[in-house]
Structures are given as structure tokens and as C-alpha cells.
Structure 1
């Protein structure tokens, strides 16, 4: 899988070099899978919904600032995205991203087991083929603004923008 990711990202890099511009990416707000007792009793929490939106903003900002991607405005399809379960809609994320001219689409989910145990997952797919190009995951301990921001920052630095992410390591 890692060598496949390298090949696919290299193909996008070559394609972007030929176009003289980076690939266009649609980064959707993250979704929540809450299997915690708190979630069952209280339902969706405003602070967590705000964190989901901020996490998407954090990813969009970092990707744009890297110069490796051209981050597209998702406003024209954002309402449809929020009305869908992007992780289980049979490719609607790819369709929505295609509507705004994206080459790549990034979705994500935060899995909440409890206020202490959470996990953030990001997925990058090729809009033209629908294929999954990369997936990144990080556990976080604590359901706070700081823990979410740090876990997202880790994924950005060490997975999404790492120069050799997925490359075989020398022994």
C-alpha cells in the first residue's frame, strides 16, 4: 500500500508539474462517529461540532500554505456534504469534489469512544478514478481543542506533508 501511495502521489506530482500548478483538492469538514456513553445520552455536542469544522479549516490552511496543493472553496457543495455521510455514501465525496473541479478529495472522521479516547482519520482519494490514495490516522487522549489541534497538526506534518511518507525506510 505504501509504495502504491508513493506512485500515485508521484503521478499527481508529475501531472501537476506538466500543468505547472499543484493538484486541486477539496477538503471537506470532518464527520463524527460517537459510540461513547456521553454521545448516546446527550447526542451531538456543539463544542465537538465546532472542533470538526476547525479541524477541516486547519487541514485546508496547512495544505494551501504548503504550496503542494491548490485548496478549493467547498462552499458550493458544503450543504450537500453536510447532508451526506461522506464515509458511507458510495462515492458522493468524489462526485461533490468533481462538481467544483477538484483533482483530489479529502474527507475525515473522528471516532469517539469516550471523552478520553478519540481517533482522527483522514482519507485522500483521486476524484478522477475514485481510488483511495492515502489514509492517515492518529489517536488522541482527551476531548479538548488542544488535543484535536495537536493530533491534526501531527497528521499534517508527519503524514500529509511529510516528504517521504510511505517511502521504504533504510535499515
Structure 2
């Protein structure tokens, strides 16, 4: 492998996160607009922070975004890998926010190799409180201390 090829960061597709709401409120009232907006913001935050790190070339997901939103990326039998492949990605990230209640939530991010389908990293953080700040802080923690941490998940240059 040439030095030029090695220096090129992997192409990464970061899909918008999905929500699993098992709270009583979610069962009674259905999806909340503020939480749907937070899902979009979290995806944007992951794309921005990973792109700024220089370790990845973050791809625009717009060409497959409608198809991604029409699928359950966690249970579609690999459609996430197919969609990321259509973008020319080497790696892809999907994620889910699990809501037990307005006080107890969890963010999970999954980094996969698009070519092999192999799960390279799974990162999870609990958060207390259903606010813009709690979601942003938990997401920032996962990016900094899991996805960008040496020897954790992301392929490191040789």
C-alpha cells in the first residue's frame, strides 16, 4: 500500500440515529417533536466532530437519507451496509437512543466496516435527563472517548 493511499482517511457514512421509546409517555403520546429534532442534531454532531478530527472523510448521506429513514437500520438485515456502500463508504455508523423514561436514556453507536460487514466498535452512554444538553454531552463523550480514542474502534494509521 502506498503512502498516499495510507494517508487518505476512510470514507465514513454516519446515519441519523433512531429512537426506541419504551416509556409510558411514548406509548401513550407517540413520538415527540423535540426528541425527533434531537435525533437529527445528534447525527449532525457526530458527523461534525468526526469530520473535524481529520481521521475520517465524512460523506453526505442525502442521496440515501430517505431510504435510511424508511428502514429500521438496526433490524433490516444489512440494508445500512448496502446504503453506505451506495455512497462509496468504507465505514458506517448507525445508532439508537433508548428511552426508558424522561430521566433514563441511553445512546448507542455502532461502527461497521462496509466491505466486510464486521462490527468494529459499539459505544454506549447512559444519560440522565431528556434535554438538548444531556444528549449533546453524551454524544460528545462517545465521540471523544470511544470513537476517536486510540485503540478503540476506529482504524488507526499504520
- Alignment TM-score, normalising by the size of structure 1: 0.86
| Structure 1 residues 53 and 26: CA distance shift in structure 2, 3 A | same
State the Cα deviation string for residues 89-110 of structure 1 (Å, max 9, x = none).
0000000000010000100000
> 1:68 and 2:51 equivalent?
no
Residue 40 of structure 2: aligned partner:
53
**How many angstroms apart in 1 are the aligned matches of 2:58 and 2:5?**
19
Structure 2, unmatched stretches of 5+, are 154-158
Which residues in structure 2 correspond to 1:1-171 (within 5 Å)? Answer: 18-165=5-152
Q: C-alpha displacement at 1:74, in angstroms? A: 0.2
| Structure 1 residues 163 and 41: CA distance shift in structure 2, 3 A | same
State the Cα deviation string for residues 59-98 of structure 1 (Å, max 9, x = none).
0000100000000000000000000000000000000000
**SS at 1:88's partner residue?**
coil
- Higher share in helix: 1
**How many angstroms apart in 1 are the aligned matches of 2:3 and 2:97?**
31
- Alignment TM-score, normalising by the size of structure 2: 0.93
Give RMSD over aligned pairs: 1.6
**SS at 1:124's partner residue?**
strand
Q: C-alpha displacement at 1:164, in angstroms? A: 3.8
Q: C-alpha displacement at 1:17, in angstroms? A: 6.0
